Amino acid sequence: MLKEQRPAIPEAIKRSIRQKCGFGCVACGVPFFHYDHVVQHSLVQEHSEDNLTLLCPNHHQAKTSGLLPVEKIIKAIASPYNKNRTHSAGHTLFAAGSKGRIILGSVEFTFDFTRYPNPEGFATFAVNGTALIGMEHEDGNFLLYFYGADESGRDLFIIEQGELVVSTEAWDYEVKGRRFVVRRRSLPGLSGQVVLDLTKLDSGFRVTTGLVLHQGRGLRIKRDRIIVLPQNSTIRDIGFKDCYAGISVGIPKVGFISID
Ligand SMILES: [Zn+2]
């Protein structure tokens, strides 16, 4: 006989749990999580919001194996790690290989570090000399950079030196395998408008929706094109191969480190 399948947790409940927990593990804040039934589902036989929380893979495993007492989880639920912070704790996104790859809409940037050894990495997009999208290359690893903002320029979804943090002020943030989606509120009852959609690749990442803003200049990324702000110039369907810098606007000096 087939084992009885338990029904999926309804999407609305999952979103509410994510919002309550500040988009991270209640115990450590990591923005990479599982949905956990505090009292196990086989006993309660329901997906009650009061009995659900977010745990990172480490804390989930520790709870399941009994190493982490349920009392500790209940305490953490009362005061989730991310709740009084502007941003979640960090989570490392690993990327490795010889050829780095960043895809923004229909524009692809690749850099072959075996042909052009360059520990500085490459800047895909820079404003006034500050790289906002790009990567560094260190011992065969890529350290990724992406500064995703909301419409008012506030940090929304940041990858800095390979470490991801998410704004706890976002309306919704979801991880689906290697894909990260941030939404802002739209009309009541709808699932929200996607403002960031990034997929981590083995040797970089792909963004199909996103906004990067710095000192009044920026880049709006759409599935089929990228738009340079504020002048609204459009770039689509091209590739940048082995270029130390991709798109640089404002003062044309480029670098991850700014020297004042
Ligand atoms: Zn955790």
Q: Percent of the chain, pLDDT > 70?
A: 95
Tell me, in angstroms, the distance from the centre of ligand 1 to residue 169's CA: 20
Residue 57: asked if its preceding bond is cis (omega within 30°), the reply is: no
Confidence of residue 256 (pLDDT cuts 50, 70, 90): low
Inform me whether the pLDDT recorded for 1 exceeds 60: no
Tell me, in angstroms, the distance from the centre of ligand 1 to residue 4's CA: 30
Q: What integer pLDDT is reported at residue 254 of this predicted model?
A: 52
CA distance 60 to 52: 12
What are the residues whose beta carbon lies below 5 Å from ligand 1 (ion)? Answer: 25, 27-28, 56, 59
CA distance 7 to 37: 13
Tell me, in angstroms, the distance from the centre of ligand 1 to residue 29's CA: 6
| DSSP strand pairing (52-55 vs 91-92) | unpaired
Would you state the structure tokens that stand for residue 93, as one six-digit string?
Answer: 């996104």
CA distance 232 to 259: 30
Tell me, in angstroms, the distance from the centre of ligand 1 to residue 41's CA: 20
Tell me, in angstroms, the distance from the centre of ligand 1 to residue 71's CA: 15
pLDDT mean over 188-213:
94
> How do residues 102-118 score in pLDDT, each as one tens digit?
999 999 999 998 888 77
- Assess contact for 231 and 223: CB atoms under 8 A: no
Neighbours of 50 (CB within 10 A): 8
Who wins on pLDDT, 71 or 5? 71
Confidence of residue 140 (pLDDT cuts 50, 70, 90): confident
Neighbours of 74 (CB within 10 A): 12
Tell me, in angstroms, the distance from the centre of ligand 1 to residue 190's CA: 30
- At residue 71, φ and ψ (nearest 5 deg) are -55, -35
CA distance 21 to 133: 28
Confidence of residue 119 (pLDDT cuts 50, 70, 90): low
Tell me, in angstroms, the distance from the centre of ligand 1 to residue 30's CA: 6
Residues of 188-214 as b/e, b for ≥16 C-beta within 10 angstroms?
A: eeeebebbbbbbbbebbbbbbbbbbbb
Q: What integer pLDDT is reported at residue 116 of this predicted model?
A: 83
